[in-house]
């Protein structure tokens, strides 16, 4: 049930981003996300809060910078391209997670990771080919 709730929430967020991108900038949409998520994250964090060390603060700043850049670029992609093109490409990150897990944490991917990665790669190629075909038909 949590997986379905997560998918529903993510789908709703993409629809909201697409609608907001008609009137608001990418930076504004990302700021809305921060303003919405901070109180939601703060409430459960208060129950287990421990002050981070200076080293941990540096890592948190780095993670925050990369996370913000990721949200900005994802919001920009959703704004500039059709959602049906952007979202399958977004799943490529799962392939990167498997690669990073292998090289950094020595996690050996099982057969389902390989099958899923192949499906993601094939769907990305199929969408790129379909978009290219559609663009050529439009040009004629």
Residue 106 has pLDDT above 80, yes or no: yes
Residue 91 has pLDDT above 80, yes or no: no
Query: How sure is the predictor about 101, in pLDDT bands with cuts at 50, 70 and 90?
Result: very high
Instruction: Please give the pLDDT value at position 9.
Output: 92
Residue indicated by tokens 């990771």: 113
Residue pair 94/117 in contact by the 8 Å Cβ criterion: yes
Instruction: Please give the pLDDT value at position 29.
Output: 96
Tokens representing 14 are: 């993409």
Distance, CA of 34 to CA of 67 (rounded, Å): 11
In this predicted model, what pLDDT tens digit does every residue of 3-29 receive, in sequence order?
A: 889 989 988 999 999 999 999 999 999
Residue pair 127/84 in contact by the 8 Å Cβ criterion: yes
Q: In the chain, where are the structural domains located?
A: 1-80, 82-140
């Amino acid at each position: 049930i949590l997986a379905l709730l997560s998918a529903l929430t993510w789908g709703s967020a993409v629809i909201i981003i697409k609608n907001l991108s008609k009137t608001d900038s990418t930076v504004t949409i990302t700021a809305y996300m921060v303003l919405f998520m901070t109180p939601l994250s703060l409430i459960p964090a208060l129950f287990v809060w421990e002050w981070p060390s200076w080293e941990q603060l540096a890592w948190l700043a780095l993670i925050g910078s990369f996370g913000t850049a990721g949200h900005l670029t994802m919001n920009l992609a959703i704004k500039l391209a059709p959602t049906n093109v952007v979202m399958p490409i977004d799943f490529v990150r799962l392939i990167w997670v498997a690669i990073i897990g292998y090289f950094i944490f020595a996690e050996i991917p099982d057969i389902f990771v390989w099958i899923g990665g192949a499906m993601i790669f094939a769907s990305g190629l199929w969408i790129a080919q379909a978009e290219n075909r559609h663009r050529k038909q439009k040009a004629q």
